[in-house]
Amino acid sequence: MAITVSIDLNREFDLAGDLDAVFELLADVPRSGSHFPKVDKLTDLGDNTFRWEMEKVGVDKHALQSVYACKYVADKSAGTIVWTPVKGDGNGVVSGRWTLTSNSDGGTHASFQTKAELTLPLPSLLKLAISPVIKHEFNSLVDTYVENLKKAF
């Protein structure tokens, strides 16, 4: 038995760093990932593809872990960093994009969009109860990530 939880997030915010510095940090997946909370392991699979293994939540055999892999394509002239899922790697399918533009004050406006589908080994009976908890946790992680990026600039 398994349940699938779908998550769709959008964030828009400003960073004090200039466009080049922000793009450089976000396009460097290990460097950017170091600002994301609760990452247990980030594995370079080659060809700008990375497997994310998040910290386990729970206890012993009742612990849940999100694992997924994405390929990243950075286009500096367009100000975008796009990630697409590597299907069949882990229990998550994650895609998204950064869109970056310069602000008039020399800073950078960042738009973050991501979609995730996490498949967890839980009885379907728990889906109604656990889905809001997982969505809240994912939102909290992204909010912490955004705050960590703001501190970096």
In the chain, domain spans: 3-152
Residue 141 vs residues 7, 14, 48, 121, 144: alpha-carbon distances, Å = 13, 18, 23, 21, 5
Contact of 60 with 66, CB cutoff 8 Å = no
pTM above 0.85, yes or no: yes
**Averaged pLDDT for residues 34-38:** 97
Q: Would you state the CATH architecture of domain 3-152?
A: 2-Layer Sandwich (3.30)
The pLDDT of residue 58 is 66
Among the listed residues 27, 55, 50, the one whose alpha carbon sits nearest the alpha carbon of residue 39: 55
With cut-offs at 50, 70 and 90, classify the pLDDT of residue 81: very high
42-66 pLDDT per residue, tens:
999 999 999 999 998 766 666 788 9
119-131 pLDDT per residue, tens:
988 888 888 888 8
The pLDDT of residue 134 is 87
Distance of alpha carbon 148 from alpha carbon 12, whole angstroms: 15
- Is the pLDDT assigned to residue 31 strictly greater than 90? yes
Helix (H, G, I), strand (E, B) or coil at 19: helix
Query: Cβ-count burial of 148 within 10 angstroms (0-12 exposed, 13-18 middle, 19+ buried)?
Result: middle
The pLDDT of residue 130 is 84
83-126 pLDDT per residue, tens:
999 999 999 999 999 999 999 999 999 999 999 999 988 888 88
Contact of 110 with 98, CB cutoff 8 Å = yes
The pLDDT of residue 40 is 96
**Averaged pLDDT for residues 19-34:** 98
